[in-house]
């Protein structure tokens, strides 16, 4: 069974709770929505600004990734060209008889 009588210190807690509830606005009959307490235009403007900043950051990061990929590709091509040049010079020396071993090419 539930006892509706407050026990010991609960009567003071109930009165404090009732005081806090008294500060709330009245319930609108029929379940109608109350007008906004706070102006949401500033919040909407800040959210829009945050969205634009996120888009700008994403765009900058995409350009940066593209630049890094291009840099890596050009670095690999440069290393490949350097190796080809070394091989070509080695073959020319071998054909001209300038082999590092000092022996004849044939």
pTM beyond cutoff 0.75: no
* pLDDT of the residue at 49: 97
Which two structure tokens, joined as six digits, stand for 68? 């890094």
Over residues 72-95, mean pLDDT? 95
Q: Count of residues for the chain?
A: 106
Residue 94 has a CB neighbour count (10 Å cut-off) of 13
pLDDT band at 13 (very low <50, low <70, confident <90, very high): low
Residues 81 and 14: their CA atoms lie apart, in Å, by: 85
């Amino acid at each position: 069974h539930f006892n509706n009588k407050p026990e010991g210190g609960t009567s003071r807690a109930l009165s404090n709770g009732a005081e806090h509830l008294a500060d709330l606005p009245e319930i609108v009959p029929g379940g109608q929505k109350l007008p906004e307490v706070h102006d949401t235009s500033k919040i909407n403007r800040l959210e829009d600004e945050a969205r634009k900043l996120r888009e700008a950051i994403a765009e900058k990061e995409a350009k940066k990734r593209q630049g890094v990929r291009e840099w890596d590709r050009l670095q690999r091509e440069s290393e490949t060209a350097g190796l080809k040049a070394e091989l070509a010079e080695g073959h020319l020396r071998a054909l001209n008889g300038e082999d590092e071993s000092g022996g004849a090419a044939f």
